């Protein structure tokens, strides 16, 4: 029996000037998934350093971290690992420079499904649907973003 452990994930919520959110479509662990850009915290790394590293790995360009958005505040078991508690941390971020990577309008536009394939797309915030995201915590964050977006519209 394996010892219980934590899997800490750090994600970026990147919203452009057109009120669109950047979404990552990936094929990993033999599974198609839709999630936020980001990934796993490595030992000895802080959460902001993790997100900056992930940005360089995924986009090939740096991010500016704006502020903390949400950290998991309930127990969530990891879907792919037995005896593992998932902790997810979300930060609002923006690109420092113009995009240098390709985005698509199509979900999972990475070609043939092979582990490690990834594509990015912008989704209008009002068109976000929690059920289109693969992971429970991401679904909660989408609901939070939609609520926040609705409140901003009402305030105008």
Which domains, and CATH codes, for the chain?
A: 5-155 (3.90.79.10)
Which pLDDT score, from 0 to 100, does residue 29 have? 85
Which pLDDT score, from 0 to 100, does residue 94 have? 97
The sheet with strand 84-95 has its strands ordered as 38-40, 5-14, 84-95, 63-71
Question: Which residue positions in the chain have pLDDT lower than 70?
Answer: 1, 156
Which pLDDT score, from 0 to 100, does residue 24 have? 98
Which pLDDT score, from 0 to 100, does residue 72 have? 97
Which pLDDT score, from 0 to 100, does residue 156 have? 67
| Whole-structure pTM value | 0.93
Which pLDDT score, from 0 to 100, does residue 37 have? 98
The pair of three-digit structure tokens given for residue 61, joined into one six-digit string: 């360009």
């Amino acid at each position: 029996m394996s010892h219980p452990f934590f899997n800490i994930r750090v994600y970026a919520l990147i919203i452009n000037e057109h009120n669109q959110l950047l979404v990552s479509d990936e094929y990993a662990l033999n599974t198609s998934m839709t999630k936020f850009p980001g990934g796993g915290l490595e030992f000895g790394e802080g959460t902001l350093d993790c997100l900056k590293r992930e940005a360089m790995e995924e986009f090939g360009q740096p991010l500016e971290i704006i502020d903390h958005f949400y950290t998991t505040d309930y127990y969530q078991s990891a879907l792919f690992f037995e005896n593992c508690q998932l902790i997810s941390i979300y930060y609002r971020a923006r690109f420092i420079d113009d995009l240098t990577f390709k985005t698509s309008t199509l979900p999972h536009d990475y070609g043939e499904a092979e582990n490690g394939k990834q594509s990015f797309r912008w989704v209008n915030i009002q068109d976000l649907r929690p059920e289109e995201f693969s992971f429970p915590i991401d679904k909660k964050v989408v609901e939070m973003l939609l609520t926040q977006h609705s409140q901003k519209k009402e305030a105008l």
